[in-house]
Amino acid sequence: MESILPGEVLSAIEAGRRKSRRARTRHLVVAGERQHRIMELTETGFVIEADGLPHLRGYVEIMLGEERIAQRLVVFAWARDGLVGYEFKHDASSRETPADYVMPERLGLLAAPKR
């Protein structure tokens, strides 16, 4: 048996779910002057509410309350149901080479100019 709910009821249910998730998290993403509450944070990315804001781009800071826990390069991953997902491209706090960086085959030093 299939039950069909009116659109207003479905949107109210979804708004309640978002409010509940928002109340549970203390993580923020900070990009310049803008701050957004993180709805879901994983090792590979995070989800925030869309709110009609332009997409985040470049380096952002991940905060837990007032403490900065990471600085990451993010890229847009998806948008649906009023939420936007971003993936971490590069961890600025690590010394690891990004996965899409290709090391040159030959590395060497240039000789000093002769006098």
Q: What is the per-residue pLDDT across 30-87, written as a single tens digit (0 to 9) for each?
A: 988 888 889 889 989 999 988 776 678 889 999 998 899 999 999 999 988 888 999 9
pTM tops 0.85, yes or no: no
> Is 104 domain-assigned?
no
For residue 104, the model assigns a pLDDT of 60
- Taking 70 as the threshold, does the pLDDT of residue 97 lie above it? no
For residue 21, the model assigns a pLDDT of 57
Q: What is the DSSP letter of 56?
A: P
Parent domain of 61: 26-91
Contact assessment for residue 61 and residue 73, using Cβ atoms and an 8 Å cutoff? no
Q: How far apart are CA 60 and CA 34, in angstroms?
A: 10
Average pLDDT over every residue of 23-35: 82
For residue 1, the model assigns a pLDDT of 39
The total of structural domains in the chain comes to 1
CATH number of the domain to which 51 belongs? 2.40.10.220
